[in-house]
Amino acid sequence: MKLCFAGLGIMGGPMAGHLVKAGHDVVGFNRTHAKAQEWACDYGTTAESRLEDAIADADALIMCVGRDEDVRDTVTAALPALKRGALIIDHTTISAKLTRELASICHEKDFSFYDAPVSGGQAGAVNGQLSIMVGGEAGRFGEVVDLVKPYTKSITHLGAAGAGQMTKMANQIAIAGVVQGVAEALHFSKCAGLDPDLVLQAISAGAAGSWQMSNRWPTMNDGKYDFGFAVDWMRKDLGIALDEARSNGAHLALAALVDQFYSEVQAMGGARWDTSSLHARLEARREK
């Protein structure tokens, strides 16, 4: 298939690269054209400086951009030039409200819009092992599955437009609580004079074990916070979830608290640290 992939950052770049390796004709687009050119050089394909040129004759537009306004701008610019009947797959984490709005607009113009946010972080994108949560009409879900297969570990159709985004909100809510719990457990172990390596060995194989504990406990203990998904982006995602909760009546006390903690990490200069930097906040308090 001929594809346009918009958004070639730490997630989108590797994902688009997997599509090239799978044999698709992929044209890259990025707001910073130099990054698109670098990506195209790495994968032996092409990039365009104008979205309208990148999507010419494309069978699908795939996006992994930044925020609501980026998705809105990309779709608005693409629709007049996009081939009728094309798929639009949005891997960006955005609000369910905007997703529903764009899906309705696309449907009226004979395009199929799917919200398909991902989980698995930078490592999942690089290794082609992402979990994908999809909202949209059931009719063309099989086409979506086949198309994104090169970077998919698991994919689930959750329901109508917006269902994928709300599932991603649940994902981020769960992660926020787990990371805070792991950070506090490590912090407590240090304050108690325990050997953090031995504590990890003792508890990670039991009921307390998790991906976050196995992978981030050692890096937290080393004071390293440069493992992908940044605090700025987590706060964006939690903000989306908290906004949705105000609409649907959900009570997210823990998510709201952890969001506040992340604001303190930002104030420490950790806006680009990864989400495990909740531990840095605790250690800073211990040192005072």
Distance between CA atoms of residues 6 and 61, nearest Å: 7
Where does the chain have alpha helices with state H?
12-21, 33-43, 51-54, 68-78, 96-108, 121-127, 141-148, 163-191, 196-203, 211-221, 231-248, 253-267, 278-287
168 noted as active-site residue: yes
Q: Under a CB-based contact definition with an 8 Å cutoff, are residues 28 and 51 in contact?
A: no
Active-site pick, 2, 35, 149, 168: 168
Tokens of 254: 């823990």
CA atoms within 13 A on the CB side of 282: 21
Name, in order, each residue with C-beta under 8 angstroms of 125's C-beta and a sequence gap of 6 or more: 10, 11, 12, 13, 14, 15, 118, 151
Distance between CA atoms of residues 224 and 243, nearest Å: 31
Distance between CA atoms of residues 74 and 65, nearest Å: 9
Closest to 131 measured CA to CA, from 151, 153, 158: 153
- What is the residue type of 151? Y
Residues labelled catalytic: 168
